[in-house]
Amino acid sequence: MARQGRRLARVPEKDEQSAIVQLLRSLGAAVYVIGHPSPNDGRSNRGTGQTAGIPDLYVLLPTPRYGSGMACAVWIEVKATGGYLRVEQRLFRDRCTAVGQLHIVGGVDAVMRWLTKGGWLRRDAICVKSA
């Protein structure tokens, strides 16, 4: 009997964002969470009131430890596996690219790949969970 592939459970975006924030702060980055209303502000059902398309995180990274790069700022639009950009988010990403602003879309895996490429993480230091 052939084994059927199992679908992996989708990790909620808020959990992806929490892991990203924790990782970045462990590297000494200043992380600004954009548009997250306080649970006590009485507006939790009315959205955040921010401009449509603004990413979830704005990050100021220190100089990389393992490369010759420089400190930098980056916008991060957190997306869970299978998530996609809305029109306003694509427009913001495209405008960032046009003016040389760094912009990442994805979950913790995408951020880790970017950090490794930039020298903030070492490839041999990344622990990968096996299913």
- Residue 8 has a pLDDT of 59
- One-character DSSP codes across 91-119: HHHHHHHHTT-EEEEESHHHHHHHHHHHT
pLDDT at 64 over 90: yes
Q: What is the pTM of this model?
A: 0.80
Question: Which of helix, strand or coil describes residue 79?
Answer: coil
Average pLDDT, the chain: 84
Report which of residues 65 and 130 the model is more confident about.
65
Q: Residue with structure tokens 């449509």?
A: 52
Element at 88 (helix H, strand E): helix 87-98
Work out the angle at residue 85's Cα, subtended by the Cα atoms of residues 83 and 87, and round it to the nearest 5 degrees. Answer: 150
Given this model, what pLDDT does residue 127 score?
60
Q: Report which of 63, 70, 34, 31 is spatially closest to residue 50, judged by C-alpha positions.
A: 34
Q: What is the pLDDT of residues 91-122, one digit of tens each?
A: 999 999 999 999 999 999 999 999 999 999 98
Read off the amino acid at residue 70: M
Task: Name the band, by pLDDT with cuts 50, 70 and 90, for residue 85.
Answer: very high
- Mean pLDDT value across residues 72-83: 94
Q: Please report, as a single letter, which amino acid is at residue 24.
A: L
- Backbone dihedral angles phi then psi of residue 74, each to the nearest 5 degrees: -145, 140
